[in-house]
Amino acid sequence: MTAENPDSMTVRELVELHKKQMLRANPEYQRGVVWKGDQKKKLIDSVLRGYPLPRIYLHHVSESYAGFQNDRLEIIDGQQRITALSEFAQGAFKLFDPKEDDAVAKFPAFIRDEPCDWGHKNFDGLSEELKTKFWETKISIARIETDNTNEVRDLFVRLQGGMPLSAQERRDALPGQFTDYILKLGGKPELARYPGHEFFTKTLGMKPGRDRGKTRQLAAQIAILFLNRRALGGDGYCDINAKAIDDFYYEHLDFDPEMDAAKRLTTILDKIVSLIQPEKHAKLRGHDAMHLVLLVDTLWDDYTRGWEPKLPSALDEFLSQIAEAKLTKDDASPSEFWTQYSTWTRVNSDRGDNIAKRNRFYLEKMRSYLAPLNGKDPKRLYGEVERTVLFYRQSKLCAVCDAPVSWSEAEIHHVTEHSKGGQTTLENGAMVHSKCHPKSKAQTQILAKKLAAPKSE
């Protein structure tokens, strides 16, 4: 096999060769055209922006039969790109407009803010200047000369055999400060400035230098959950699947790592590292780590630090119950730790509604293991933990009017008045709208009577 020195061809030459069927893929070992419309549109967008395209590998085939000579080029690597170029030249599709197609195209802000003279235009709609730019763009070509088709196939396998980037490795290349924030949390040890937070490398024992982005993906999932909950309160559980992570990266290109919520997450991770010593607990899985972070965030503002020395033993108790629950999963009456927690880690575990179900259960159990929780301010009626538990126990419905309550308008009322010895406990609490919160003695008595009445079937 010989490879001529890398040369180049213009887009026009490639398209014309393709059109005359002198440039084609060998279907014996090549897949068909698999690129979707958005991939084709972004390739043409790259051409018009002057971005260089990867090299195309071609096999020069020269055959003679019955006195006739047939010369052609078979595509070893580049079929999808050549097809996209050819289809666009024939007017097969219109290009993205970075602003108007923002939800689908997902260009970074620095591209959206630039003029785009080819937005929503097919080839015929381009200006003469842009048509010329398209046709005259040069693409690097490697032309392979060999009569041994096995060598060509071997080269094809080698070119395709490079391990593709994982979803998180692709995110690591995205612009914006959220990318840098996650690299600092999740770590990329081959770069000295990204050793990774000890919560992931020490407490969880993850290996960001060897796991192809798994640590950074977990860091991104935790950060997204945390930041969403800080923004929306107790009802702020969101999906953290691949699409949701991609969307968050894209929608937060202007992320500020110095904002309070971002610095708060780092502080909470620091605290967990100081409290939870590696090798003294069962291995924490990703979902365990998420709920631990959300728990500490819930405890952080409203309670004295008496919970801190109790956190390791509380975590041990919860992990122990989870392990025992697995033994009951086939029983007629499985453990609640199986039905209300572990089950929701098995299927669609990255969906917001399932994360919410797990976290409600986790919060209630960990609260009981950490009891008593002492409020920082005795005048403050209920803390974040109790507020969250009651929010879900009452199915987000007001105890007074039975209408839905948003997290931002939810308040907790003492059923037996605090002034008359009513304790600040879950049993004595009722979630209400701020506008429905009983203000008078009569209103308090009406609500107490309603709550004491037998529930109708």
Q: What is the mean pLDDT of residues 32-55?
A: 93
Q: What is the mean pLDDT of residues 313-329?
A: 94
Tokens 């009722």 belong to residue: 430
Residue-wise pLDDT tens digits, 377-433: 655 567 778 888 888 888 889 998 989 988 888 888 888 876 666 777 888 888 889
Cα-flanking dihedrals φ and ψ of residue 380, to 5°? -80, 130
111 pLDDT higher than 60: yes
Rounded CA-CA distance 194/139 in Å is 35
Q: List the alpha helices (DSSP H) in 253-371.
A: 260-275, 286-300, 311-326, 336-339, 352-370
Rounded CA-CA distance 275/83 in Å is 57
Rounded CA-CA distance 429/436 in Å is 14
**Helix, strand, or coil here: 61?**
strand
Cis peptide before 54 (omega within 30 of 0): no
Among 7-11, 132-136, 395-399, 408-412, the minimum mean pLDDT is found in 408-412
Rounded CA-CA distance 38/35 in Å is 8
Tokens of 66: 């019955």
- Say if CB 289 and CB 219 are below 8 A apart: no
Rounded CA-CA distance 158/241 in Å is 32
Average pLDDT, the chain: 89
Q: How wide is the angle at C-alpha 408 spanned by C-alphas 405 and 411, nearest 5°?
A: 70
| Sign of the torsion formed by the C-alpha atoms of 385, 390, 392 and 398 | negative
Q: What percent of the chain has pLDDT over 70?
A: 96
- Say if CB 179 and CB 168 are below 8 A apart: no
Q: In 39-137, where do the E strands start and end?
A: 56-65, 68-77
Q: Which residue has the higher pLDDT, 108 or 327?
A: 327
Question: Which pLDDT value is given to residue 318?
Answer: 95
Rounded CA-CA distance 74/22 in Å is 8
Going by pLDDT thresholds of 50, 70 and 90, the confidence category of residue 96 is very high
Give CA separation, 165 vs 36, 51, 81, 172, in Å. 18, 20, 19, 10
Tokens 């100081």 belong to residue: 274
Can you give the pTM of this predicted structure? 0.72
Rounded CA-CA distance 451/395 in Å is 15
Q: Which residue has the higher pLDDT, 3 or 303?
A: 303
